[in-house]
Amino acid sequence: AQSVTQLDSHVSVSEGTPVLLRCNYSSSYSPSLFWYVQHPNKGLQLLLKYTSAATLVKGINGFEAEFKKSETSFHLTKPSAHMSDAAEYFCVVSDMGSGFQKLVFGTGTRLLVSP
């Protein structure tokens, strides 16, 4: 079975400094991986996804993630944090359920951005 582990429940950065949110996955075959963001009291928005094309994936709002098969990792990065980046981030692996796409969510990382 597929699974994801988000290594930090909370990450705190200062505005203008780099962001690193860590995610490791477990998969028996080449997975599809996603990062979603959830702002307070909002739904989930897709940031980016990896689907076995380029290993460096660029997403919205300056975020990117690199798929590293040897390390089974899919860490999310951004060169310079903005106050509006404060939110909860979910790493997600996609699996084939019984005839449907099953998403397996990590437990989330809350990003705090201070001025």
Binding site for other proteins (CB under 8 A): 31-32, 34, 36, 41-46, 49, 51-52, 90, 94-103, 105-108
Judged by CB, which is closer to other proteins: 46, or 112? 46
Inter-residue contact 34 to 40 (CB < 8 Å): no
Rounded to the nearest whole angstrom, what is the least distance from the CB of residue 49 to other proteins in the complex? 6
φ, ψ dihedrals at 38, nearest 5°? -130, 110
Classified as helix, coil or strand, 1 is: coil
Classified as helix, coil or strand, 83 is: helix
Judged by CB, which is closer to other proteins: 43, or 115? 43
Judged by CB, which is closer to other proteins: 41, or 70? 41
Measured CA to CA, the distance from residue 86 to residue 97 in angstroms comes to 32
Rounded to the nearest whole angstrom, what is the least distance from the CB of residue 112 to other proteins in the complex? 17
